Chains A and B, each alone.
Chain A
Amino acid sequence: IAGITQAPTSQILAAGRRMTLRCTQDMRHNAMYWYRQDLGLGLRLIHYSNTAGTTGKGEVPDGYSVSRANTDDFPLTLASAVPSQTSVYFCASSDAPSGNTGELFFGEGSRLTVL
């Protein structure tokens, strides 16, 4: 049982480069989320998707974009990476009804360093 798979696990990136973090789930969950986790701060929501074909902005969306072409995949793109985007990124999913967050299932995280 895979659950949620994120790739890459870790990446070092030069500032200004474009980067896509991949997230795939096999639980057929409607809702998916991207969070960043920084030392001393709570998880912060970047973008979310309540169902395939729809996306929404979270607390810290600037510099990031997402797409939800199908139920399983929810990639996060950094168009032009900056050092402040150095963080651990977690993808999560939930089988709660659209717009009603239930228990979240998290991927193992992608550690991104922007130099």
Chain B
Amino acid sequence: GQNIDQPTEMTATEGAIVQINCTYQTSGFNGLFWYQQHAGEAPTFLSYNVLDGLEEKGRFSSFLSRSKGYSYLLLKELQMKDSASYLCAVLDSNYQLIWGAGTKLIIKP
């Protein structure tokens, strides 16, 4: 079966750095997405990786290793507004998105 694993919950301190991991086992691979979802709101797009390596976008970076079936989202200079769930999703060989359950990130002052 297809599977996306990410930690259920993480806690970090304002101003710090946090890394949210995602491992996947899917039938084929056509890219990996990260979305942010604040409580009670819609998911919003953060990043897309299809090649190995690090993609940096402001305070957020996303890394992919296709050989290891692994990605992480790195958030720097954490702000209280970064408290949200972070969803990892993989596009499989049929171009269907397989979603992880999400990682709830709690930021403490």
Contacts and interface: CB of A to CB of B under 8 A. Distances in A.
A45 B96 contact: yes
B87 interface: yes
A16 B36 CA distance: 35
B99 A103 contact: no
B43 A90 contact: yes
Contacts, number: 45
A42 B87 contact: yes
Interface stretch (A60-68, A79-87, A106-114): A106-114
A42 B99 contact: yes
Contacts of A43: 43, 87, 89, 97, 99
Contacts of B43: 43, 90, 104, 106
Nearest to A31: B95
Contacts of B42: 90, 106-109
Q: Which range contains the number of B residues in contact with the other chain?
A: 20 to 34
A104 B70 CA distance: 22
A103 B41 CA distance: 17
Interface size class of A (residues with CB under 8 A): 10 to 19
A42 B98 contact: yes
B71 to A, nearest CB: 15
B29 to A, nearest CB: 13
Given A41-B101, A42-B87, A42-B102, A101 B45 contact: no
Interface of A: 40-45, 58, 90, 99-101, 103-109
Interface of B: 4, 8, 30, 33, 35, 41-45, 48, 87, 89, 91, 95-102
Given A43-B43, A44-B99, 20 more contacts: A40-B8, A40-B101, A41-B101, A42-B98, A42-B100, A42-B102, A43-B87, A43-B89, A43-B97, A43-B99, A45-B96, A45-B97, A90-B42, A100-B30, A100-B95, A101-B96, A103-B33, A106-B42, A106-B43, A108-B41
